[in-house]
């Protein structure tokens, strides 16, 4: 007696579906990317060395140019806002240095995968590695610029206090928020090549809408402009402790909420796009 033909068809359907690769667990790429820290640390440091190859001062050129910029801007804007330069210049320096880290990572994240196209197409590496690469090289630059605060604090008599240590926690939150933003923008920038120039334009405008060169008190009754700006809160949790003041509680709530929601979004985006990024390059 011959077997029913549908029996073989059902068997084929079961076997074929079993061979389809399952989607990787949520957050696995980010977990593996953290474990590959020797790779992205080496790539980020290599980027810095190549950028300043045959340069006498290397990345310290950024330190020198930023110190001149802060000094000139500090003198001019302190008079515009009728503030004592001893108070205004440390305020401007920390705000501008932290903003430099935020804006540079955001601007460079759109091309994170495009810059590593050769590696991605040849070696299976967690995609978050290339986001860490962008963050790490900009963190190295940040370390070269934040040292400007030391002579500024000495010259303008900003005393060291225990509350200064809160700046480390604040910067850790800034780093986490920058990570998830860079993950999302790197995927979008790979899929839509118009994203990087759009993001660059937005960051150029955002610097004027963020309390970096002007204090929140300058807004008078319109402080809502600063309160709805997430970058204001990210800068505040680093700048306020370094200047000896406690950051506003709302800034902590906003940054922590952004970090939790943003990391969940980054995990979801990477999970959805992990099998498509190679084809978009």
What are 105-123's pLDDT values in tens digits? 999 999 999 888 888 888 8
- Mean per-residue pLDDT over the chain, rounded: 86
The tokens 């900009």 sit on which residue?
138
Query: Is the alpha carbon torsion for 58, 197, 124, 133 positive or negative?
Result: positive
Does residue 156 register a pLDDT over 80? yes
**219-226: long-range contacts, CB 8 A cutoff, minimum separation 24:** none
Looking at residue 8, its pLDDT comes to 45
Does residue 214 register a pLDDT over 80? yes
The full set of domain ranges for the chain reads 25-280
Q: Can you tell me the distance from the alpha carbon of 24 to that of 39, in angstroms, rounded to the nearest whole number?
A: 22
Does residue 209 register a pLDDT over 50? yes
Per-residue DSSP letter, 124: -
Q: Which region among 1-5, 177-181, 200-204, 224-228 has the lowest average model confidence (pLDDT)?
A: 1-5
Looking at residue 22, its pLDDT comes to 54
| Three-state SS annotation for 97-122 | HHHHHHHHHHHHHCCHHHHCHHHHHH
Q: Can you tell me the distance from the alpha carbon of 77 to that of 75, in angstroms, rounded to the nearest whole number?
A: 6
Looking at residue 108, its pLDDT comes to 93
Q: CA–CA distance from 37 to each of 32, 43, 48, 59, 72 (Å)?
A: 9, 10, 17, 22, 39
Name which of 158, 181, 160, 177 is nearest 169 in CA terms. 177
What are 7-60's pLDDT values in tens digits? 444 443 334 333 334 567 778 889 899 999 999 999 988 888 887 776 666 667
**Are the C-beta atoms of 104 and 11 separated by less than 8 Å?**
no
**Are the C-beta atoms of 130 and 189 separated by less than 8 Å?**
no
CA atoms within a 13 Å half-sphere pointing along the CA-CB vector of 35: 8
Q: 226 is written with which tokens?
A: 């600063």
Using DSSP's 3-state secondary structure scheme, residue 9 falls into helix
Does residue 93 register a pLDDT over 90? yes
Per-residue pLDDT, averaged over 142-150, amounts to 91
Q: Can you tell me the distance from the alpha carbon of 84 to that of 87, in angstroms, rounded to the nearest whole number?
A: 5
Per-residue pLDDT, averaged over 245-250, amounts to 92
**Are the C-beta atoms of 180 and 259 separated by less than 8 Å?**
yes
With a CB cutoff of 8 Å and minimum separation 6, the contacts of 46 are: none
């Amino acid at each position: 007696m011959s077997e029913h033909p549908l029996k073989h068809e059902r068997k084929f359907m079961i076997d074929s579906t079993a061979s389809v690769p399952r989607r990787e667990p949520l957050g696995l790429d980010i977990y593996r990317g953290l474990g590959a820290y020797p790779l992205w640390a080496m790539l980020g440091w290599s980027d810095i060395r190549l950028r300043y190859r045959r340069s006498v001062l290397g990345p310290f050129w950024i330190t020198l140019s930023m110190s001149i910029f802060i000094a000139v801007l500090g003198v001019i804007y302190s008079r515009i806002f009728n503030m004592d330069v001893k108070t205004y210049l440390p305020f401007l320096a920390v705000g501008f240095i932290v903003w430099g880290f935020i804006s540079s990572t955001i601007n460079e994240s759109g091309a994170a995968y495009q810059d590593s196209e050769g590696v991605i197409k040849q070696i299976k590496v967690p995609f978050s590695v290339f986001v860490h690469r962008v963050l790490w090289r900009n963190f190295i630059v940040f370390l070269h610029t934040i040292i400007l605060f030391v002579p500024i604090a000495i010259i303008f008599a900003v005393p060291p206090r225990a509350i200064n240590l809160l700046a480390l926690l604040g910067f850790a939150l800034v780093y986490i928020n920058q990570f998830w933003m860079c993950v999302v923008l790197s995927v979008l920038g790979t899929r839509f090549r118009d994203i990087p120039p759009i993001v660059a334009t937005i960051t150029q405008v955002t610097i004027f809408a963020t309390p970096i060169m002007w204090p929140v008190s300058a807004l008078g009754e319109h402080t809502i402009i600063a309160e709805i700006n997430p970058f204001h809160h990210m800068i505040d949790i680093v700048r306020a402790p370094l200047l000896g003041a406690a950051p506003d509680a709302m800034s902590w709530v906003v940054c922590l909420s952004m970090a939790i929601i943003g990391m969940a979004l980054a995990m979801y985006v990477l999970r959805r796009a992990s099998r498509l990024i190679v084809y978009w390059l």
